[in-house]
Amino acid sequence: MSGLLLRDAEIGGRERADVRVAGETVADIGSGLARRPGERVVECGGGALIPGLRDDHLHLHALAAWRRSVPCGPPSVTGRDGLRTALRNAVPDESGWVRGVGYAEGVAGDLDAAALDALRADVPVRVQHRSGALWVLNSAAAREAGLDPGDHPGIERDGGGRPTGRLWRADGWLRARLPAPRPMDLGQVGRDLARLGITAVTDATPDLTDTALASIEEAARDGALPQRVRLLGVPLDASTSHPRVGTGPYKIVLADSGLPSLGDLIGRIRLAHERARPVAVHCVTREALLLLLAAFDDTGVLDGDRVEHGALIPAESVPDLARRGLRVVTQPGFVADRGDDYLRDVPAEDLPDLYRCRSLIEAGVPVALSSDAPYGPLDPWAVMEAAVHRAARSGAVVGRSEALTARSALRSYLTAPREAAGLVLLHVPLGEALTRLSAADVRATIADGRVFET
């Protein structure tokens, strides 16, 4: 882009001015700025110009794979008959497999190989739980993947030592045993993100392979992925090479299916800190968070250390997070997406601790809102709306006291000005946009020196 002149844009939610943009940054602000040769002019009509949005926790390749997969959970599939229809109508991919995603127990209970065989047994089928932590394989898939002789600790076995078809947190192990897929197209993911106003992302996938890292850097290099990207899963002995792809804190997963020992966690944090890498630690249970805080008592906190999810944070731990200067990257979109399940399944005494936002901010804990897409809703405006209203699909409210103002929710999604991570032009003034928090108000996104119009 040779240059962009935005006429009559609202700046800072107050004044209106002309804005000249060079690349992704504001080069000049004034009244009646003259158009330069080759400069594109956009008449804004008082629409707000804001920093680009950052989704600080998502999974790029999983988003791309989701587009190739069969939905197996709410809202599109809500019962056993619907799941049977979805799987039996699914066309196997080029390797002959069916890949399902988004499964929740409310659809057809706890799936295993036998239960999947009853739904479809003629081809290999694998279905991912909506948490992303569990794959369930039917018998044909279990044979092809070699579950019986497999030695991964995530292979669930019955009392007789036979695999049940359930595989916990073993994505890398399973991927190595599947037919090689065609390369992931991150271009559509990049366009979807830009359409929503997202100009920067943090990929939270742990333990990225060389192939996955190369794929993301190639997508940034050829412009398919216009967003600035930070990667939590870059190994401690590796680095990135593209200027728009950076290394973030080191991802550590505290799996709810099996927590590590305190000594093991201390060792992993120390190793990262010795390499000058802060850590980003997956915590979705109270036990995981308390284990992490105990580990930090030993290792100390490095600037940039963060808690991922913080799905259950007891009130007594909030001051501990603030005292240590830890950041919490959380996903209130799950309240909107799964709130009715939480109200049904989570003990009443735990409900106030779910996806805290307001109490953290009031205690001085930095909070970043994010999506965890594709496992949570990608739309940042829907996530902000969930942070403000805390409403489940039924309209029931989950954790009313944790609700944010619309302005605070937006602030938790904005990129920092020093990041030079792009801009978003809205159709309407900021005050009006804050009354409804809708992606429909995004008129254009400026990222990687390009304009993406919606």
**Could you report the per-residue pLDDT of 303-338, keeping only the tens digit for each?**
999 999 999 999 999 999 999 999 999 999 999 999
Neighbours of 241 (CB within 10 A): 10
Scan for tokens 């390797």, then name that residue: 95
**Token pair recorded at residue 395:** 């309209």
Nearest CA to 103 out of 399, 332, 341, 288 is that of 341
Q: What structural domains and CATH numbers belong to the chain?
A: 4-46 (no CATH), 54-60+184-421 (3.20.20.140), 94-175 (3.10.310.70)
Instruction: Tell me the DSSP string of 298-331.
Output: HH---TT-EEEE--B--GGGHHHHHHHT-EEEE-
Nearest CA to 399 out of 289, 283, 310, 280 is that of 310
Write down the pLDDT at residue 233: 97
Collect all residues with Cβ–Cβ distance below 8 Å to 304 and sequence separation of at least 6. Answer: 249, 278, 327
Tens of each residue's pLDDT in the chain, 454 residues: 568 999 999 998 889 999 999 877 789 999 999 999 989 999 999 999 999 999 999 999 999 999 889 999 999 999 999 999 999 999 999 899 999 999 999 999 999 999 999 999 999 999 999 999 999 999 999 999 999 999 999 999 999 999 999 999 998 899 889 887 777 789 999 999 999 999 999 999 999 999 999 999 999 999 999 999 999 999 999 999 999 999 999 999 998 878 999 999 999 999 999 999 999 999 999 999 999 999 999 999 999 999 999 999 999 999 999 999 999 999 999 999 999 999 999 999 999 999 999 999 999 999 999 999 999 999 999 999 999 999 999 999 999 999 999 999 999 999 876 666 799 999 999 999 999 999 999 999 999 989 999 8
Write down the pLDDT at residue 420: 66
**Model-level pTM greater than 0.75?**
yes
C-alpha 407/C-alpha 441 separation (Å) is 15
Given its phi and psi angles, is residue 82 left (phi above 0), alpha (psi -120 to 50 degrees) or beta?
alpha
**Could you report the per-residue pLDDT of 26-60, keeping only the tens digit for each?**
899 999 999 999 899 999 999 999 999 999 999 99
Collect all residues with Cβ–Cβ distance below 8 Å to 64 and sequence separation of at least 6. Answer: 184, 185, 186, 188, 189
